[in-house]
Chain A
Amino acid sequence: MLSERLRSIFRKENIPVSYEPKPAASQSTAAVRAVAAASTKGRSQRSTPLTRQSRGLEQFFFNVRDIVGLSILDCAGANQDNLDFLINLGHKVYSQDLVRNLDDCFQDLAEQTNPGRIEYFLKQNLDYPPQSIDGALLWDSLQFMSPALLNAVVERLYDVMRPESYLLAFFTATEKMTDVASHSFRIADNKTIVLTERGIRPAGQVFNNRSLEKLFSKFESVKFFLTRESLREVIVRR
């Protein structure tokens, strides 16, 4: 191939008509970015459910096995699959859609620093008696909260969760401020979830293991599982 190219340089008449010069480096980078943006946009529009194993979910239900009558907080928004699964385990379900309620309470991330709005959000979504929740499935809702709101929510969760209860949350593993896909989560069984993308949202902050340990510093323990989709599954013990 290289020899043919060299020969063609010296024999102009043999340069194929279809030959096109390579784009300049800056142009190719822009092209790559455009392709990446297009693929990202396409991904946001795609809503094909993805089924995968979840170590975090498996750990969560392992910790509440053989116990019935618990009060489980499900923040994925009410869906029949999650209700059936939790009800069939004999639990009482508290249902919220925290991501949707974020849009109802706050216009943008900047408004999530307003103390009055934060208090209103807590009143609307996490107004439970102290130590009344026996397990919380927060899914990916926490990663879309600004630091001020997130700290307030975690503080409230600490108050409403029963000691030795567990909390499951998902955080993006990309360590830079970027838009992140938001998903709906359906429980297929005690270790399998079905994710359906429902849009792209800005992440509230950059997360890493250290920042998450600091976030849940009041809790007893924090365990991490990293998934192939660059998602950090965090199981926290109150």
Chain B
Amino acid sequence: MSMWNKREDPPAPRPASVPPAPAPAPAPEIKKEPTPVSSTPFRAPDAEARNSATIGKSVKIVGQIFAKEDLYVDGDVEGTIETIDNKITIGPNGRVQASIRARDDSILGQDQGNVETSDKVDIRKEAKLVGDITTARISIEDGALFKGSIDIRKPEPKGATSPAATPITAKTVEAPAHAAAATTGAATTGR
């Protein structure tokens, strides 16, 4: 009978108790280096400020500003701003009491001072500009407040050269044989 009995499987060996894993060694301290702070100023999300240096609305500068890139001014500036080959934008929060020299000037805020640009001045409808403008082109939206003078100076076209002046030469004309005295002809100049 025992031969028909189900063979009793030998009891499964008890798994050996796994010794608890040793406590992991404490991870070495990772020294966190301070996050490097970018030295470039915070860039406003506006499209015009995206690729330009920015003076934020909480910033006030008294003095002279020289820039070799586009400049977006949304704060207070007193003095002068100069970026001859680039564009200046005065943002809606900008309050500028300065003379400005730039290639282009776009004004959405307040500007009190003369503006001199080689290309264009753009005065938006919320802008307030008091001062004299010297530029090649100007556009002003309805609603903008402007008080001052506008002097348009078109740039000279490239490649145009003033015609060379013909040197003035005195011309001695021999008097005809029958004339007693020699005469001097009048010099002519061409344009």
Contacts and interface: CB of A to CB of B under 8 A. Distances in A.
Contacts of B140: 78-80, 83
A173 B181 CA distance: 78
Contacts of A78: 123, 140, 144-146
Interface string A82-98: 01000100001111110
Interface string B133-146: 00000111110111
Contacts of A100: 145
Contacts of B144: 78
Interface string A69-83: 001000001111001
Contact of B149 (A77, A93, A97): A93
* Among A78, A93, A94, A101: residue with most chain B CB under 10 A: A78
A187 B108 CA distance: 25
A119 B105 CA distance: 33
Interface in B109-168: 123, 138-142, 144-152
Nearest to A94: B149
B147 A93 contact: no
A77 B149 CA distance: 12
A101 B130 CA distance: 13
Chain B interface, >50% SS class: strand
A133 to B, nearest CB: 11
Contacts of B146: 77-78, 95
Interface string A181-224: 00000000000000000000000000000000000000000000
A interface, how many residues as a size bin?
Answer: 10 to 19
Contact of A83 (B138, B145, B147): B138
A80 B147 contact: no
A71 B141 CA distance: 22
A79 B148 contact: no
Contacts, number: 40
Contacts of A96: 147
B113 to A, nearest CB: 16
A204 to B, nearest CB: 22
Given A78-B144, A79-B140, A80-B140, A87 B149 contact: no
Contacts of B142: 79-80
Given A79-B140, A80-B140, A83-B140, A97 B145 contact: yes
A94 B150 CA distance: 6
Contacts of B123: 78
B148 A94 contact: yes
A92 B135 CA distance: 11
B151 A92 contact: yes
Contacts of A77: 145-146
Contacts of A79: 140, 142
Contacts of B151: 92
A138 to B, nearest CB: 15
Interface in A151-174: none
B149 A95 contact: yes
A95 to B, nearest CB: 6
Nearest to B142: A79
Max chain B Cβ within 10 angstroms of own Cβ: one of A71, A83, A96: A83
Contacts of B152: 87, 92
Interface of A: 71, 77-80, 83, 87, 92-97, 100-101, 125
Interface of B: 123, 138-142, 144-152
For the complex of A and B, list the 4 residue pairs with the smallest distance between their C-beta atoms, beginning with the closest: A78-B146, A93-B150, A94-B149, A92-B151
